[in-house]
Chain A
Amino acid sequence: MNEGKTMKKRPWLATPYAVWVAGFTMIPLLVIFQYALTSREGAFTLANVMAIFEPVHLKALLFSLEIAVGCTIICILLSYPLVMAMRRLNMGRQGFTLFILILPMWMNFILRILAWQLILSNNGILNFILQKAGLLPLSLANTGTAIMIGVIYDYLPYMVLPIFNAVAEIDEDLVEAARDLGANSLTVFCKVILPLSVPGLLSGIVMVFVPSMTSFVIADVLGGGKLQLIGNVIEQEFTKSANWNMGSGLSVSLMLFVLISMAFTTKNETEGKSSSIW
C-alpha cells in the first residue's frame, strides 16, 4: 500500500540528541557512580551506597517516602474532582481554566513557599483569620504537615494537567453510549473515565512522586530546620560536610527509586498510550 513516496525513516536526525545524552546525562551519572563507589582516599568501597541504611539516613528516607506518597495520593484525590468539575463546566475547551491553573507556576516557587510560611506561621495569616472567626489557632509552622501542604501546593498542577489532558481526549460518544445503556454518573466515572485516564494518571504520578520526595527547599523553609528529607541530607553532605562520596552514595541509592518509576513509564511509552503532559 505504501507505494510512491512516503516518509523516509531518518533515525539519524536524533544524533545531536544522542551525543547530548551521552555527554550530559550519561557521563555525569558515571561520575556520580565513581564518587559513590570510592572513599575519600580513593579506595573502592560500598560504604557510601550502603550508608542509606544507617538509622539517621533511613529516618530521612522514610520521612521523604511518607511525604512523597502522601503528596501523590492527596494530589490524585484533589485532581480527579477538579478535572470532573472542569469537564462538567465545559471550561477546558477554552483553555481558560487550564491557564488559571498554570499561572501560579510563573511566580517564583521559592517566593511562593515563603508566602506559605507567612500564612502558616503561628502568628501568621491563617491563624489571624481563624482567630477572627473565633476558632482555635493551628500550630502548623515547622511541622511535617506544613511541608506536606507546601509540597502538595507546588506539585498539584503537575498532577492535574496530564489527567486533564487524558480525560479531555476521551470521546464524548463513549460517555453518551454508557449513559444510553443506563449508567449513572458514578458508574460512568469508574468504568469509562477512570480507566481511560490512566496514562495521564501515570504521567502525573511520575511527575509528582520523585520531585516531592527529593525537594529540599520546601523542607528548609517550611520545616524550620527540624525536619530532614533525604534531599536535605544529600545537600548537606555536599555543601556542609564536603563529603562528596557520601553524598554521591546516597544519590545512587535514591536513583534506585527512579529506576522503579521508570519501569512504569517505558511500559506505557511502548504501548503508544502516552498522553502528552501538557
Chain B
Amino acid sequence: MKKRVWAALLAGAIVCASALAGGCAKETESGETLTVFNYGEYLDPEAIEMFTEETGIKILYEEAVTPEDLYTKYKSGAIEYDLLCTSDYMLEKLIQEGELQEIDTSSFEHIGNVGERYFEFSKSFDPENKYTLPYFWGTVGILYNKDKVKGEIDSWDVLFNGDYAGEVIMQNSMRDSYLVALKYLGYSLNTTAPGELKEAQDLLLAQKPDVQAYLVDEVREEMVAENAAVAVIYSGEAYLAHDYNEKLEYAVPKEGSNLWIDAWGVTKYCDNMDAAQKFLDFLCREDVAQMNYEYIYYSTVNDAVVENMSAEEKENGALIPPEEVLADCEVLKQLDQETTDLMNEYWKELKAD
C-alpha cells in the first residue's frame, strides 16, 4: 500500500519534472534567437526583456568573468555565440583571427547617441571601426580608504613600497596586474621586451607577501567592508564603492594607467545579421542606455545619457575621467603569442608562490 503511494509519487514527480524542464528549457517555439555572450552583470535583464517584447527575438544570454574566460569558451566552439561583448585587446585578437563580421554602425538609428571620441579610442583595436560598437569605458586606478592612508595617493608606489603591507588588494587578472607594475616602472603596458616583463614579474613577486588578496569585482565589497587600505580597481566599480562607503576615493596615478573600452562585436557564426544589428542599435537608444547605466554605473559611451547626469555625477572623476588623466593612459593591445605565453607562465608562477 505504502509502496504504491511512493511509486505514484515518484511517477508523478517525473512527469512534473519533464513538464517543468520542457517548459523551462524549451528554446523557441518559432521565431529568431540571438545568443549573446557578455561579462557578468553587464546588461540590465529588463532591457533584454524589453528587446524581446518589442522585436519578438529571443535572447540566450551567457556570462563570463574575464576576457580570457570569454575567449576560451568562445573558441571551444561548444556554443555558437552570435554577439560578444568584451574588452579592447581581446577584440583585437578576435578581429585578427577573423572571428568577427563587419557591422555597419553608421546605419544604426540611434548611433548619434554614441560619442565620436569613443570610436577614436576604439581605433586602437578596430582601426577602421568596422567591427565593433563601443559600450562602456573607463580607467584603472587606485581605490583608497581616506581614513587608512597617509598623504597624497597619486602614484602606483603606494602599492609597492610596503607602507600598506597586508592592506593591498590587486586585480586577479593577468593583464591588469602586469600593467600596474609596468606603468610603475615607466614602461609601456603593451611592451614585449622580455627584460621589462621580467622586471615587472620580480616586482610583483616581491609584492606578493604584502598583498591581501587578488580579486576581480569583489574588490569593491572588500573595500566597502574596510578590509584593506588600497586596491587596484576599475573606475566604474570605484564610483559604486564610494556610494556605499564615503571614505573611499579614487585616483589615477601620475605614472599613467590604462584606458579600457568594452565593445560589442558580431561573430562569424551569426547568420541573422539583421537581428544582431537591431540588438546593437537597441543598446544605443537613450532609454536603454540609461537603464544599463543605472544598472552598472560605469562610464557610458552614450552622450545622451551623460547629458542627463546630475552635476555631482558629472564632476566625479571615476565616472567621467578628465582629459588630463587620459593623456597618460594607454589602451591595452593584444600581444604576440610568445609574449602571451611568457606572461601566462609568469602569472602561474606568481599565483603559485
Which residues of A pack against B, CB within 8 Å? 55-57, 59-60, 121-124, 139, 141-142, 224-226, 228, 233, 236, 238-242
Contact = CB atoms under 8 A, between A and B. Distances in A.
Given A56-B352, A121-B227, A240 B66 contact: yes
Which interface residue of A60, A123, A225 has the most chain B CB atoms within 10 A?
A225
Which interface residue of A57, A122, A228 has the most chain B CB atoms within 10 A?
A122
Contacts of A122: 227
A122 B223 CA distance: 11
B72 A240 contact: yes
Contact of A228 (B68, B69, B76, B351): B351
Which interface residue of B215, B227, B352 has the most chain A CB atoms within 10 A?
B352
Contacts of A242: 68, 71-72, 75-76
Given A60-B352, A121-B225, A123-B227, A224 B72 contact: no
B208 interface: yes
A233 B348 contact: yes
Nearest to B74: A242
15 contacts: A55-B352, A56-B348, A57-B352, A59-B352, A123-B226, A142-B212, A224-B213, A224-B214, A225-B213, A226-B211, A239-B69, A240-B66, A242-B68, A242-B71, A242-B75
Contacts of B227: 121-123, 141
B208 A226 contact: yes
A100 B226 CA distance: 35
Given A121-B225, A122-B227, A123-B227, A225 B71 contact: no
Interface in B210-248: 211-215, 222, 225-227
Nearest to B214: A225
B344 interface: yes
Interface string B68-84: 11011101100000000
B51 to A, nearest CB: 29
Contacts of A228: 351-352
A226 B214 contact: yes
Nearest to A220: B172
Given A240-B72, A242-B71, A225 B225 contact: no
B217 to A, nearest CB: 12
Given A225-B213, A225-B214, A242-B72, 20 more contacts: A55-B352, A56-B349, A60-B352, A121-B227, A124-B225, A141-B212, A142-B212, A225-B215, A225-B351, A226-B213, A226-B214, A236-B348, A238-B72, A239-B69, A239-B73, A240-B68, A241-B68, A241-B344, A242-B75, A242-B76
Interface string B167-195: 00000101000000000000000000000
Contacts of A57: 352
A226 B169 CA distance: 11
A64 B326 CA distance: 44
Give 7 closest A-B pairs by Cβ, nearest first.
A224-B213, A225-B214, A225-B172, A240-B68, A242-B72, A56-B352, A142-B213
A224 B212 contact: yes
Nearest to A240: B68
Contacts of B172: 225
Chain A interface SS verdict (over half) = loop
Nearest to A243: B344
Given A240-B72, A242-B71, A242-B75, A224 B215 contact: yes
B84 to A, nearest CB: 16
A239 B68 CA distance: 7
A233 B174 CA distance: 14
Contacts of A239: 68-69, 72-73
Given A224-B213, A226-B213, A123 B352 contact: no
Nearest to B166: A139
Contacts of B68: 239-242
A49 B87 CA distance: 34
A104 to B, nearest CB: 24
Which interface residue of B68, B72, B174, B349 has the most chain A CB atoms within 10 A?
B72
Contact of B69 (A123, A226, A240): A240
Contacts of B212: 141-142, 224
A241 B346 CA distance: 12
A171 B326 CA distance: 78
A225 B65 CA distance: 14
A239 B172 CA distance: 14
Contacts of A139: 166
A60 B349 CA distance: 11
Contacts of A141: 212-213, 227
Contacts of B72: 238-242
A139 B227 CA distance: 11
Given A225-B214, A240-B69, A123 B351 contact: no
A45 B72 CA distance: 23
A172 to B, nearest CB: 28
A9 B349 CA distance: 58
B294 to A, nearest CB: 26
Contacts of B351: 225-226, 228
A57 B68 CA distance: 21
B271 to A, nearest CB: 25
Contacts of B214: 224-226
A241 B75 CA distance: 12
A128 to B, nearest CB: 11
A77 B68 CA distance: 42
Which interface residue of B73, B215, B348 has the most chain A CB atoms within 10 A?
B348
Contacts of A59: 352
A136 to B, nearest CB: 15
Contacts of B211: 226
